[in-house]
């Protein structure tokens, strides 16, 4: 209660405050998501809102956008107290939010999507008029998108632009962006930043929610940090604060950015992928001739923007997807187009992309989830029956060893946080002492502390002599963990680069970035001969 409520909110030095949130409290069952949070947004600034997953940043912004209603606290817009009972109220007050998951109708055009839900074209819809209107609006803010295109034809980056246009068209002055870069390629992120800067130049304000320190320190003018529902920093200038300091504000302790990584000593080829072709769920080609290999004792990264065949690749390797052509061998045994069980029995571990829908059974207990690959053999299976005592003690051991924070192991895993669930999955996969492990986006959605834990576990695997294939969209993660990185684009490998220890250099990141958007390595090297040495 005494939490800074008495602190002075003196009018700011230069720009006036457009939004002011005072003492916001929002509770969820068992969680205090926002504990008397104060937040101030100045006109014409990009305000970074940092915090780990579950820190309460989306909650706070959902309150501002009218999706949630706070239990206590007030919202002032341009100095006037406002009560939002729906997103429409917030939009009328000039506040709009672009969510992480887009809310667009794929079969309709950009214009139709933007007009959806508005009263303006009451009955007769003369689309061409609106098309030009929207094209002009896009022009103004550097949001290039064809108003007549159907949404399903657009890339993820373009769809995001449509979402932003939707808000601009509704005349919002404050745009809240929830983790906007999660789905974008490096070049697209640049484009987004250009747009955001164009918006503030025209007097709009932006709240940029992220858990990526680097982006926030690049784009934001000021930063607020939330930790466990409490604001640990409110509106500090991003210029005057180091990344380490921000990280400390987020997690409350120092995070080690450079991992202890011993030089690699690669052994035999464990996984060999030879020229494989596969289709995605819609029956369209997803993999078009992929070849790669992973040796014992090394981590090999697969970089790429989401949806370029990474999921399908990991599924073919693990035996969950049909391989149309080519084959995958694991220590000499063919594993492609065999049962998943074959891979499991031959020492393959798989950390799937989708923790909740593939990697775990949400309503079953932690115990039931950790025996998923062990229930067929002793000590869990005894005389055809499951030995629940043995299973429970295994679960308790793993809970201890992997720092899974729950009162007891009979808790259904659906109640676990993302980081804890990922630890359950990793515990299960690693405790099988795999010869090969494929991990897809193992740190997606996890907070800084949890990410570090996952990274240590992966490196421990490498040191134990396992071959690890790491599929990730986080370039930093790939570069700090991998010994080699393949870059995938539209189901093809664009090239392979070696990653030395230490700080990754800019040209390497640039090369990978270019490959991620479809330029093969040979071409880059040919063009780059003159420029680089």
**242 or 345: whose CB is closer to another protein?**
345
9 part of the interface to another protein, by CB under 8 A:
no
Part of the chain binding another protein (CB under 8 A), chosen from 158-166, 262-270, 356-364, 485-493: 356-364
Of 92, 155, 217, 340, the one binding another protein by CB under 8 A: 340
Residue 135: how many other CB atoms lie within 10 Å: 19
**71 or 190: whose CB is closer to another protein?**
71
357 part of the interface to another protein, by CB under 8 A:
yes
460 part of the interface to another protein, by CB under 8 A:
no
- Element spanning 513, H or E: helix 506-516
Q: CA 498, CA 138: separation in Å to the nearest integer? A: 41
384 part of the interface to another protein, by CB under 8 A:
yes
Q: Least CB distance from residue 381 to another protein, whole Å?
A: 6
**218 or 405: whose CB is closer to another protein?**
405
Q: CA 418, CA 388: separation in Å to the nearest integer? A: 26
Q: CA 433, CA 193: separation in Å to the nearest integer? A: 44
528 part of the interface to another protein, by CB under 8 A:
no
283 part of the interface to another protein, by CB under 8 A:
no
Of 94, 157, 309, 352, the one binding another protein by CB under 8 A: 352
Part of the chain binding another protein (CB under 8 A), chosen from 125-133, 176-184, 210-218, 349-357: 349-357
30 part of the interface to another protein, by CB under 8 A:
yes
Of 195, 360, 392, 443, the one binding another protein by CB under 8 A: 360
Question: What order of strands is seen across the sheet that includes strand 72-77?
Answer: 31-42, 17-28, 72-77, 80-82
381 part of the interface to another protein, by CB under 8 A:
yes
**122 or 357: whose CB is closer to another protein?**
357
Q: CA 160, CA 191: separation in Å to the nearest integer? A: 11
**411 or 517: whose CB is closer to another protein?**
411
Q: Least CB distance from residue 340 to another protein, whole Å?
A: 4
Q: CA 485, CA 299: separation in Å to the nearest integer? A: 9
361 part of the interface to another protein, by CB under 8 A:
yes
- Element spanning 348, H or E: strand 348-351
Interface with another protein in residues 129-168 (CB under 8 A) = none
∠397-398-404 over CA atoms, to 5°? 120
Per-residue burial over 141-151, b if 16 or more Cβ lie within 10 Å, else e, is bebebbbeeeb
Of 9, 12, 28, 171, the one binding another protein by CB under 8 A: 28
Q: Least CB distance from residue 453 to another protein, whole Å?
A: 23
**388 or 464: whose CB is closer to another protein?**
388
DSSP conformational letter for 298? -
**195 or 360: whose CB is closer to another protein?**
360
**115 or 344: whose CB is closer to another protein?**
344
11 part of the interface to another protein, by CB under 8 A:
no
Closest CA to 97 of 138, 64, 139, 135: 64
Where in 221-279 does DSSP place strands (E)?
222-227, 230-237, 269-279
Q: How far is CA 533 from the centre of its chain?
A: 35
82 phi and psi, to 5 degrees?
-130, 150
Q: Determine the size of the site formed for another protein (CB under 8 A).
A: 40
Part of the chain binding another protein (CB under 8 A), chosen from 108-116, 189-197, 282-290, 409-417: 409-417
Part of the chain binding another protein (CB under 8 A), chosen from 3-11, 135-143, 209-217, 371-379: 371-379
Residue 488: which residues within 8 A CB-CB, separation 6 or more? Answer: 290, 302, 303, 304, 308, 309, 310, 313, 494
Part of the chain binding another protein (CB under 8 A), chosen from 102-110, 180-188, 343-351, 453-461: 343-351
Q: Least CB distance from residue 349 to another protein, whole Å?
A: 11
359 phi and psi, to 5 degrees?
-80, -10
Interface with another protein in residues 294-333 (CB under 8 A) = 318, 320
Per-residue burial over 410-421, b if 16 or more Cβ lie within 10 Å, else e, is eeebeebbbbbb
Closest CA to 320 of 290, 359, 356: 359
433 part of the interface to another protein, by CB under 8 A:
no
Q: CA 452, CA 463: separation in Å to the nearest integer? A: 16
Interface with another protein in residues 53-82 (CB under 8 A) = 71-72
344 part of the interface to another protein, by CB under 8 A:
yes
343 part of the interface to another protein, by CB under 8 A:
yes
Residue 251: which residues within 8 A CB-CB, separation 6 or more? Answer: 52, 227, 447, 448, 449
User: Is 62 exposed, middle or buried, given 0-12, 13-18 or 19+ CB atoms closer than 10 A?
Assistant: buried
Q: Give me the residues that bind another protein (CB under 8 A), please.
A: 28-31, 71-72, 318, 320, 339-345, 350, 352, 354, 357-364, 368, 371-373, 375-376, 381, 384-386, 388, 411-412, 415
């Amino acid at each position: 209660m005494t939490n800074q409520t008495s602190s002075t909110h003196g009018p700011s030095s230069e720009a006036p405050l457009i939004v002011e949130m005072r003492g916001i409290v929002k509770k969820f069952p068992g969680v205090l998501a926002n504990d008397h949070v104060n937040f101030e947004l100045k006109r014409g600034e990009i305000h970074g809102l940092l915090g780990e997953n579950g820190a309460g940043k989306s909650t706070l912004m959902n309150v501002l956008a009218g999706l949630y209603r706070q239990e206590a606290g007030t919202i002032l817009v341009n100095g006037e107290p406002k009560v939002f009972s729906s997103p429409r109220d917030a939009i009328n007050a000039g506040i709009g939010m672009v969510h992480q998951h887009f809310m667009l109708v794929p079969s309709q055009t950009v214009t139709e999507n933007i007009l959806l839900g508005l009263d303006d074209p009451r009955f007769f819809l003369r689309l061409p008029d609106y098309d030009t209107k929207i094209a002009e609006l896009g022009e103004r803010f550097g949001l290039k998108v064809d108003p007549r295109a159907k949404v399903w034809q657009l890339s993820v980056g373009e769809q995001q632009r449509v979402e932003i246009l939707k808000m601009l068209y509704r005349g919002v002055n404050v745009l809240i962006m929830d983790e906007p870069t999660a789905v974008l390629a490096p070049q697209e992120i640049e484009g987004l930043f250009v747009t955001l800067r164009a918006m503030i130049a025209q007097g709009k304000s932006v709240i940029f929610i992220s858990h990526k320190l680097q982006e926030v320190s690049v784009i934001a003018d000021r930063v607020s940090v939330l930790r466990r529902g409490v604001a640990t920093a409110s509106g500090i200038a991003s210029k005057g604060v180091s990344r380490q300091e921000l990280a400390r504000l987020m997690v409350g302790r120092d995070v080690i950015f450079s991992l202890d990584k011993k030089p690699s000593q690669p052994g035999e080829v464990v996984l060999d992928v030879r020229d494989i072709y596969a289709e995605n769920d819609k029956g369209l080609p997803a993999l078009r001739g992929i070849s790669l290999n992973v040796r014992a004792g090394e981590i090999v990264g697969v970089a790429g923007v989401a949806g370029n065949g990474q999921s399908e690749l990991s599924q073919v390797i693990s035996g969950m997807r049909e391989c149309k052509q080519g084959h995958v061998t694991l220590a000499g045994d063919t594993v492609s187009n065999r049962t998943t069980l074959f891979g499991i029995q031959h020492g393959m571990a798989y950390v799937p992309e989708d923790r909740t829908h593939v990697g775990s059974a949400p309503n079953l207990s932690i115990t039931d989830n950790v025996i998923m690959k062990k229930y067929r053999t002793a000590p869990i299976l005894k005389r055809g029956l499951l030995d629940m005592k043995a299973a429970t003690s295994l679960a308790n051991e793993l809970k201890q060893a992997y720092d899974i924070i729950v009162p007891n192991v009979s808790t259904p895993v659906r109640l676990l946080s993302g980081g804890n669930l990922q630890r359950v999955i990793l515990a299960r996969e690693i405790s099988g002492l795999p010869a090969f492990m494929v991990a897809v986006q193992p740190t997606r959605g996890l907070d800084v502390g949890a990410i570090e834990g996952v990274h240590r576990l992966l490196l421990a695997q490498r040191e134990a002599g396992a071959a690890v294939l790491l599929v990730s969209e986080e370039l930093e993660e790939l570069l700090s963990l991998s010994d080699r990185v393949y870059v995938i684009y539209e189901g093809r490998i664009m090239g392979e680069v070696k990653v030395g220890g230490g700080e990754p250099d800019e040209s390497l990141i640039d090369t990978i970035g270019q490959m991620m958007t479809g330029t093969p390595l040979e071409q880059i090297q040919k063009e780059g001969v003159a420029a680089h040495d």
